[in-house]
Amino acid sequence: MNIERNNLIISDEEVLRPTRVEVVLNLLSENFHKIKAATKNALVMPILKANAYGHGLVCVAQLMEELKADYLGVAVLEEGIHLRNAGITIPILVLGGIWGNQIPLFIEHDLSITASSVGKLNQIEEVAAQIKKRARVHLKIDTGMERIGVHYYSAEKLLEASLNCKNVDVIGIYSHFANSDSRDLSFTKTQLERFLETCSFYEKHSLASPIKHIANSGAILQIPDANLDLVRPGILLYGVYPSQEVKKTIEVKPALSWKSLVVYFKIIKAGSTVGYGMKWKAEHDIRAVTVPLGYGDGYMRSMSHKAEVLIRGKRYQSVGVISMDQIVVNLEQDSAYNGDEVTLIGRDGENSITVEELADWAGTIPYEILTNINTRVPRVYID
């Protein structure tokens, strides 16, 4: 069993915190293979940004390399460098924007750069010429997301400029969907049309096209025509669907569980309050336990008075405001003992708690729940 804490791989004996995340590698592998089978001839770029959606950047990347993923996608330069320093060798695309002084580091670590404008592309060309090395880029087209990327209606200038670069290899061209995980796919289809029209530049000029990619998790599930040359599964890879509305055309299973242990048992007398702000009062004598995690670990404070956990296969509600490092769970008249396992996400017996439930309690989306699990929580990898 491998363990990752703060991106360092450590042994079982060194894990002192009772709170941990468990990742079942076989489930990640199964999800990857199902996505690969469903998208047929498309290359697959697993998205590993934000600590691999909370699953642990390095270990997930190592697994994806073993599974022969074609590319990896990350959000920022530091993530790419970390993977290279960990020995990952397959192509990595950094999806975020860049600063000019970062370009030498991209090239030094063989990371593909997102070129989102003619100015950015020219910067990359100049730096590559200065250091006498080739840069690898993917051209970013904005088809309606309005973040980074040249607008589709003026993209031809970027594509023409890329043909004049002598020190840049254009590996790919891509865009991103704004709402491919919704029931109404009209705008998503409009974005796909805009992107394909932009890419027709290559055919019109009798040029070989770079790798075309636009499909994220929602599109992989709902729009097969968007698979093109490469797909970019993010949250779907980890076994979580991107929304409640999306069609579940590929069956995936959550690979992550979040667990802790009971560290204290007490009886709380009627009329006593629990936690900061004294916002919860016991109406009668109850039995309660303390669990050592809180919003400092990513267990969101906004879930206070709503979040539930599993102990001995049964659901119990947390009471009082969630603290930075501890929560209190109301057992009513049941019993629990120090060392009993507490499931925050995952299954215990016949019951389970999902990421979607935590998102509902917190008033947010599953993406935020997963990516907010702090790196101080050890990741335990189970084969």
Report H helices in 142-246: 156-163, 186-204, 217-222
DSSP-assigned letters across all residues of 63-85: HHHHTT-S-EEESSHHHHHHHHH
Mean pLDDT of the chain: 95
Q: Position 244: which residue type?
A: Q
Statement to judge: residues 73 and 186 lie in one domain? yes
In a domain, 159, yes or no: yes
pLDDT of residue 361: 98
Q: Using alpha carbons, list the distances in angstroms from residue 253 to 28, 122, 176, 194, 314.
A: 8, 44, 25, 33, 22
In a domain, 31, yes or no: no
Please list the active-site residues.
49, 276
Statement to judge: residues 192 and 261 lie in one domain? no
The stretch 344-368 carries a mean pLDDT of 97
Statement to judge: residues 304 and 368 lie in one domain? yes
Between CA 152 and CA 312 the distance in angstroms is 55
In a domain, 140, yes or no: yes
In a domain, 310, yes or no: yes
SS3 47: strand
The DSSP call for residue 308 is E
234 CB-side CA count, 13 A: 26
Positive or negative: CA dihedral 229, 232, 238, 241:
negative
Checking if the pLDDT of 137 tops 90, the result is yes
Domain boundary among 212, 238, 264: 238
Statement to judge: residues 58 and 206 lie in one domain? yes
Statement to judge: residues 216 and 335 lie in one domain? no
The predicted-structure confidence for 94-109, as pLDDT tens digits, reads as follows 999 898 899 999 999 9
DSSP-assigned letters across all residues of 322-361: --SS-EEEEEET----TT-EEEEEEEETTEEE-HHHHHHH
Q: Position 299: which residue type?
A: Y
CATH number at residue 334: 2.40.37.10
Sequence-distant (≥ 6) Cβ neighbours of residue 41 within 8 angstroms: none
Statement to judge: residues 105 and 168 lie in one domain? yes
Statement to judge: residues 72 and 212 lie in one domain? yes
The predicted-structure confidence for 63-102, as pLDDT tens digits, reads as follows 999 999 999 999 999 999 999 999 999 999 999 989 889 9
Beta pairing partners, 5: 8
The predicted-structure confidence for 271-296, as pLDDT tens digits, reads as follows 999 999 999 999 999 999 999 999 99
The stretch 134-159 carries a mean pLDDT of 97
Statement to judge: residues 301 and 228 lie in one domain? no
Between CA 315 and CA 313 the distance in angstroms is 7
pLDDT of residue 16: 75
In a domain, 34, yes or no: no
Statement to judge: residues 121 and 203 lie in one domain? yes
Percent of the chain with pLDDT over 70: 96
* Structural domain that includes position 317: 256-382
Statement to judge: residues 79 and 154 lie in one domain? yes
Angle at 25 between CA 24 and CA 29, to 5 degrees: 125
Helix, strand, coil: what percent of the chain each, to 5?
A: 35, 25, 40
Checking if the pLDDT of 15 tops 80, the result is no
Overall number of domains in the chain: 2
